[in-house]
Amino acid sequence: MIRILIVDDEKPICDLIDMNLSAAGYHCKSVQDGLTAIDLIEKEPFDLILLDIMLPGADGFDIIEYIRPLKVPVIFITAKGDVRDKVKGLKLGAEDYLVKPFNVLELQARVEVVLRRFHKTESVLTAGDVTVDLEARKVTRAGRPVVLTNKEYGLLVLFIQNKNVALFKETLYEKVWGDEYFADSRTLELHVQRLRRKMGWEKNLVAVYKVGYRLEI
Protein backbone atom coordinates (compact mmCIF):
# COMPACT_ATOMS: atom_id res chain seq x y z
CA MET A 1 0.00 0.00 0.00
CA ILE A 2 1.19 3.51 -0.81
CA ARG A 3 2.31 5.31 2.36
CA ILE A 4 1.83 9.09 2.64
CA LEU A 5 3.07 11.38 5.41
CA ILE A 6 1.06 14.57 6.03
CA VAL A 7 2.93 17.36 7.83
CA ASP A 8 0.78 20.34 8.79
CA ASP A 9 0.44 22.27 12.06
CA GLU A 10 -3.36 22.44 11.65
CA LYS A 11 -4.82 19.13 12.80
CA PRO A 12 -8.21 19.65 11.09
CA ILE A 13 -6.39 19.96 7.74
CA CYS A 14 -4.38 16.82 8.47
CA ASP A 15 -7.57 14.97 9.39
CA LEU A 16 -9.39 16.13 6.25
CA ILE A 17 -6.54 15.07 3.95
CA ASP A 18 -6.08 11.79 5.83
CA MET A 19 -9.79 10.95 5.59
CA ASN A 20 -9.98 11.56 1.85
CA LEU A 21 -6.68 9.93 0.87
CA SER A 22 -7.37 6.92 3.12
CA ALA A 23 -10.77 6.53 1.43
CA ALA A 24 -8.91 6.49 -1.89
CA GLY A 25 -6.81 3.55 -0.70
CA TYR A 26 -3.66 5.24 0.64
CA HIS A 27 -2.12 4.59 4.05
CA CYS A 28 -1.62 7.96 5.78
CA LYS A 29 0.13 9.26 8.87
CA SER A 30 0.12 12.86 10.04
CA VAL A 31 2.20 15.02 12.37
CA GLN A 32 1.91 18.68 13.35
CA ASP A 33 5.52 19.84 13.76
CA GLY A 34 8.74 19.71 11.80
CA LEU A 35 11.00 17.91 14.28
CA THR A 36 8.48 15.11 14.80
CA ALA A 37 8.24 14.78 11.02
CA ILE A 38 12.01 14.37 10.69
CA ASP A 39 12.05 11.75 13.47
CA LEU A 40 9.27 9.80 11.73
CA ILE A 41 10.96 9.99 8.33
CA GLU A 42 14.10 8.51 9.89
CA LYS A 43 12.15 5.55 11.29
CA GLU A 44 9.62 4.73 8.58
CA PRO A 45 9.59 4.62 4.75
CA PHE A 46 7.13 6.85 2.88
CA ASP A 47 6.24 7.03 -0.80
CA LEU A 48 5.16 10.69 -0.68
CA ILE A 49 5.23 13.58 1.79
CA LEU A 50 2.66 16.39 1.87
CA LEU A 51 4.50 19.23 3.57
CA ASP A 52 3.42 22.58 5.00
CA ILE A 53 6.01 25.37 5.11
CA MET A 54 5.12 27.24 8.30
CA LEU A 55 5.73 24.62 11.00
CA PRO A 56 6.95 24.70 14.60
CA GLY A 57 10.33 23.13 15.28
CA ALA A 58 11.60 23.11 11.69
CA ASP A 59 9.90 24.73 8.71
CA GLY A 60 9.08 23.00 5.43
CA PHE A 61 12.07 24.48 3.61
CA ASP A 62 14.41 23.00 6.25
CA ILE A 63 12.67 19.63 6.11
CA ILE A 64 12.83 19.28 2.32
CA GLU A 65 16.60 19.85 2.50
CA TYR A 66 16.74 16.89 4.87
CA ILE A 67 14.39 14.75 2.70
CA ARG A 68 16.09 15.41 -0.64
CA PRO A 69 18.87 12.76 -0.33
CA LEU A 70 16.18 10.16 0.50
CA LYS A 71 14.58 10.59 -2.96
CA VAL A 72 11.05 10.82 -1.48
CA PRO A 73 8.76 13.10 -3.53
CA VAL A 74 7.30 16.14 -1.77
CA ILE A 75 4.22 18.26 -2.45
CA PHE A 76 4.08 21.54 -0.56
CA ILE A 77 0.63 22.39 0.85
CA THR A 78 0.80 25.88 2.29
CA ALA A 79 -0.90 29.23 2.79
CA LYS A 80 2.22 30.95 1.42
CA GLY A 81 1.02 31.81 -2.06
CA ASP A 82 3.73 34.30 -2.98
CA VAL A 83 5.47 33.44 -6.26
CA ARG A 84 8.88 33.74 -4.60
CA ASP A 85 7.95 31.08 -2.03
CA LYS A 86 6.65 28.81 -4.78
CA VAL A 87 9.81 29.22 -6.83
CA LYS A 88 11.95 28.57 -3.74
CA GLY A 89 9.99 25.42 -2.90
CA LEU A 90 10.27 24.03 -6.43
CA LYS A 91 13.97 24.87 -6.63
CA LEU A 92 14.56 23.03 -3.36
CA GLY A 93 13.14 19.91 -4.99
CA ALA A 94 9.37 19.84 -4.42
CA GLU A 95 7.40 18.05 -7.14
CA ASP A 96 4.39 20.34 -6.74
CA TYR A 97 3.15 23.32 -4.74
CA LEU A 98 -0.51 23.69 -3.69
CA VAL A 99 -1.81 26.84 -2.01
CA LYS A 100 -4.46 26.70 0.73
CA PRO A 101 -7.41 26.62 0.61
CA PHE A 102 -7.47 23.85 -1.98
CA ASN A 103 -10.00 21.36 -3.31
CA VAL A 104 -9.40 17.85 -1.94
CA LEU A 105 -10.06 16.29 -5.35
CA GLU A 106 -7.40 18.55 -6.85
CA LEU A 107 -4.94 17.45 -4.17
CA GLN A 108 -5.75 13.81 -4.85
CA ALA A 109 -5.21 14.32 -8.58
CA ARG A 110 -1.82 15.93 -7.93
CA VAL A 111 -0.88 13.09 -5.58
CA GLU A 112 -1.70 10.56 -8.32
CA VAL A 113 0.38 12.48 -10.89
CA VAL A 114 3.44 12.61 -8.64
CA LEU A 115 3.16 8.94 -7.68
CA ARG A 116 2.91 7.96 -11.35
CA ARG A 117 5.98 10.09 -12.09
CA PHE A 118 7.90 8.12 -9.48
CA HIS A 119 6.38 4.78 -10.58
CA LYS A 120 4.81 4.27 -7.17
CA THR A 121 1.20 3.80 -8.18
CA GLU A 122 -0.48 0.53 -7.34
CA SER A 123 -1.24 -1.76 -10.26
CA VAL A 124 -4.18 -3.51 -8.58
CA LEU A 125 -7.26 -1.81 -7.11
CA THR A 126 -9.83 -3.51 -4.88
CA ALA A 127 -13.30 -2.66 -3.57
CA GLY A 128 -15.12 -5.45 -1.76
CA ASP A 129 -15.10 -8.50 -4.06
CA VAL A 130 -14.16 -6.38 -7.11
CA THR A 131 -10.55 -6.36 -8.32
CA VAL A 132 -9.09 -4.23 -11.11
CA ASP A 133 -5.71 -5.10 -12.63
CA LEU A 134 -4.69 -1.76 -14.14
CA GLU A 135 -1.74 -3.12 -16.11
CA ALA A 136 -3.72 -5.97 -17.69
CA ARG A 137 -6.91 -3.88 -17.79
CA LYS A 138 -8.85 -6.82 -16.35
CA VAL A 139 -11.80 -6.64 -13.95
CA THR A 140 -13.04 -9.50 -11.80
CA ARG A 141 -15.94 -9.81 -9.38
CA ALA A 142 -15.73 -12.59 -6.83
CA GLY A 143 -12.96 -14.08 -9.00
CA ARG A 144 -15.02 -14.06 -12.19
CA PRO A 145 -14.12 -11.79 -15.13
CA VAL A 146 -16.43 -8.87 -15.89
CA VAL A 147 -16.70 -7.36 -19.36
CA LEU A 148 -16.93 -3.56 -19.36
CA THR A 149 -17.00 -0.90 -22.04
CA ASN A 150 -14.18 1.66 -22.05
CA LYS A 151 -16.38 4.27 -20.38
CA GLU A 152 -17.64 1.82 -17.73
CA TYR A 153 -14.05 0.84 -17.00
CA GLY A 154 -13.03 4.49 -16.65
CA LEU A 155 -15.87 5.15 -14.22
CA LEU A 156 -15.05 2.01 -12.24
CA VAL A 157 -11.43 3.04 -11.74
CA LEU A 158 -12.44 6.55 -10.64
CA PHE A 159 -14.98 5.26 -8.14
CA ILE A 160 -12.56 2.75 -6.60
CA GLN A 161 -9.76 5.33 -6.43
CA ASN A 162 -12.19 7.66 -4.61
CA LYS A 163 -14.02 5.22 -2.34
CA ASN A 164 -16.45 6.94 0.06
CA VAL A 165 -15.86 10.32 -1.62
CA ALA A 166 -18.70 12.14 -3.42
CA LEU A 167 -17.68 12.83 -7.02
CA PHE A 168 -19.30 15.60 -9.02
CA LYS A 169 -21.02 14.63 -12.26
CA GLU A 170 -18.94 17.28 -14.02
CA THR A 171 -15.72 15.69 -12.73
CA LEU A 172 -16.73 12.19 -13.79
CA TYR A 173 -17.81 13.28 -17.24
CA GLU A 174 -14.72 15.40 -17.84
CA LYS A 175 -12.31 12.64 -16.76
CA VAL A 176 -14.02 9.74 -18.57
CA TRP A 177 -15.52 11.42 -21.62
CA GLY A 178 -12.99 14.25 -21.83
CA ASP A 179 -15.78 16.72 -22.47
CA GLU A 180 -17.98 19.26 -20.71
CA TYR A 181 -20.97 17.85 -18.82
CA PHE A 182 -24.47 18.93 -19.87
CA ALA A 183 -27.18 18.65 -17.21
CA ASP A 184 -29.82 17.39 -19.66
CA SER A 185 -27.65 14.47 -20.80
CA ARG A 186 -28.50 11.00 -19.40
CA THR A 187 -25.32 9.39 -20.72
CA LEU A 188 -23.53 9.39 -17.36
CA GLU A 189 -26.62 8.17 -15.50
CA LEU A 190 -27.11 5.25 -17.89
CA HIS A 191 -23.47 4.18 -17.62
CA VAL A 192 -23.65 4.32 -13.80
CA GLN A 193 -26.80 2.17 -13.86
CA ARG A 194 -25.06 -0.45 -16.01
CA LEU A 195 -21.98 -0.37 -13.76
CA ARG A 196 -24.17 -0.93 -10.69
CA ARG A 197 -25.68 -4.05 -12.22
CA LYS A 198 -22.40 -5.51 -13.45
CA MET A 199 -20.56 -4.93 -10.16
CA GLY A 200 -23.48 -5.79 -7.87
CA TRP A 201 -23.29 -2.29 -6.43
CA GLU A 202 -27.01 -1.49 -6.35
CA LYS A 203 -26.66 -0.43 -2.71
CA ASN A 204 -23.03 0.75 -2.82
CA LEU A 205 -22.92 3.16 -5.77
CA VAL A 206 -25.28 5.85 -4.49
CA ALA A 207 -26.51 9.10 -5.97
CA VAL A 208 -25.59 12.22 -3.99
CA TYR A 209 -28.23 14.94 -4.28
CA LYS A 210 -27.10 17.91 -6.41
CA VAL A 211 -23.55 16.51 -6.54
CA GLY A 212 -23.10 13.20 -8.36
CA TYR A 213 -22.23 9.73 -7.08
CA ARG A 214 -20.34 8.06 -4.25
CA LEU A 215 -19.05 4.48 -3.96
CA GLU A 216 -19.68 3.37 -0.37
CA ILE A 217 -17.36 0.55 0.63
Give CA–CA dist 19/17, Å, rounded: 6
**How far apart, in whole angstroms, are the C-alpha atoms of residue 165 and residue 126?**
15
Question: Block means of pLDDT (10 residues each) for the chain, length 217 residues?
Answer: 91 90 84 93 92 91 89 90 87 90 87 84 83 89 94 93 86 84 83 96 94 91
Please state whether the peptide bond connecting residue 101 to the residue before it is cis, i.e. omega within 30 degrees of 0. Answer: yes
Q: Domain residue spans in the chain?
A: 3-117, 124-215
Q: Contact at 8 Å (CB) between 139 and 130?
A: yes
- Range 3-117 has CATH code 3.40.50.2300: yes
Q: How far apart are the C-alpha atoms of 95 and 90, rounded to whole Å?
A: 7
Domain 124-215 has CATH 1.10.10.10: yes
